[in-house]
Amino acid sequence: MEKRILGIVLSILGIIGLLYAGITFMNGGTEAKTIKGIIFSGVLGAVFFVAGIGLIKNTNDKAT
């Protein structure tokens, strides 16, 4: 059950990172510092999201 909860948390963090990258991109971030932030938060968000979904998908719950 702990892995499934960790997967949910990672998925939520990934969604937040992707939303932040999208909102920053749509607000017209054209400075080099802003572009680096968009790329960093987008990649990190995608990694967290994929890792979280993988944990949720591959975790088997056993009844105790």
Answer yes or no: are the C-beta atoms of 18 and 52 closer than 8 Å: no
Q: Can you give the pLDDT of all 64 residues of the chain as single tens digits?
A: 788 889 999 999 999 999 999 998 888 766 777 888 889 999 999 999 999 999 988 887 775 6
- Which residue has tokens 């105790």? 64
pLDDT confidence of residue 63 = 59
How is 5-56 classified by DSSP, letter by letter? HHHHHHHHHHHHHHHHHHHHHHTT--SHHHHHHHHHHHHHHHHHHHHHHHHH
